[in-house]
Amino acid sequence: MFKEERTESLFDWSMIGDLETGRPNLGPTMTVTTYRLMHFTLRDVLIQEVGVAKAEEIFYKAGRSAGEQYYEHVLGSQSDLDSLFAALQRTLKDLSIGIFRVESADVEADRFVVTVAEDLDCSGIPVCSEQVCTYDEGFLSGVFHAFNGHEYRVKEVDCWGSGDRVCRFTVDPA
């Protein structure tokens, strides 16, 4: 199923697998510690191997792909922004990813400011003078793109890692 070298994504939602069969005792959940162990060691090795800019690009692209898949397989087709925002708020909380809120919306300009509190990626980490939620930027970009087909640039402007207590993202047309 997998090729070692490729230029196109081979990810398919089925790769998540049948968790009821595969994890009959442990179930579909794991600790935030386990997730962050994978996330931050992968981020660290990528930065060492390819540099900060390329590592950030990779995390953004991976997040975007995840956001598009999440829209298709978790959020389903949403008819309008209100239903999209409600579905994001509900599912991100239900899956313990974070608490999503829309801080401001300029629908005419297609620009938004959204926050994620208790973010899976960073809430509670030591202050490191960095904004570390590049994967989340890509994820939100992918969700918005899957929703309406428009391209967006999502940028984190506040992060727990840089001393804030909520992750805040600007969502702008690309």
> What tens digit of pLDDT does each residue of 96-149 get?
999 999 999 999 999 999 999 999 999 999 998 778 899 999 999 999 999 999
Beta-bridge partner residues of 69: none
Pick the residue with more confidence: 79 or 6? Answer: 79
Distance CA 131, CA 161 (A): 6
Give the rounded distance of the alpha carbon of 52 from its chain centre: 19
User: Which residue in the block uniquely carries the two structure tokens 């309406």?
Assistant: 148
What is the end-to-end Cα distance of the chain in Å, rounded? Answer: 34
Q: Has domain 13-173 been given CATH number 3.40.50.960?
A: no
Rounded to whole angstroms, the Cα distance separating 134 from 153 reads: 11
The DSSP bridge pattern shows strands 152-158 and 111-117 to be unpaired
Percentage of the chain modeled with pLDDT above 70: 98
Mean pLDDT in residue range 85-95: 97
The domain segmentation of the chain, as residue ranges, is 13-173
